[in-house]
Amino acid sequence: MSQIPRPGQPVRGSETGKPIMALLDLLGRRWALRVIWELREDPLTFRDLQARCDGMSSSVLNQRLAELRAAWIVEQDGNGYRLTTEGTELLLAFPAFQAWADRWAEREAAISRRPAAPLNRAVRRP
């Protein structure tokens, strides 16, 4: 079982323990963002959540839910799993990331449409 990222402790990619690095480590784990996304509207049971996540393994889902619960992003109640108030606040940051990603995609598309620059080779003359 991998260690749950926590602010103030070294995390994957950073020894500083800065909170943003711990969050990026947590969100960068396989399926973590998908779990958050699927819980954005209504609580889901474990099985429903697993089905919405294209049938990810139960062990991976259990691990992600444990990590997200430890970070106070997800909680479990009688209706299943749902986002906490903090989880909902985190979800509100996603549109800014989406806007940045859209601009990035536009820049990449513009670059790929440009004609290739000619190679700048020195011409040797006899």
> Which residues are bridge partners to 80 per DSSP?
77
Distance CA 49, CA 34 (A): 10
What string of pLDDT tens digits covers the 126 residues of the chain? 468 888 888 888 888 889 989 899 999 999 999 999 999 999 999 999 999 999 799 999 999 999 999 999 999 999 899 999 999 999 999 999 899 999 999 999 998 887 766 666 665 655
* Long-range pairs, 67-71, Cβ under 8 A, ≥24: 67/4, 67/5, 67/26, 67/29, 67/32, 68/26, 68/32, 68/35, 68/36, 70/4, 70/6, 71/4, 71/5, 71/26
Q: What is the pLDDT of residue 11?
A: 86
Structural domains of the chain sorted by starting position, each given as residue range(s) with its CATH number in brackets:
19-111 (1.10.10.10)
Return the structure tokens found at 106: 């536009």
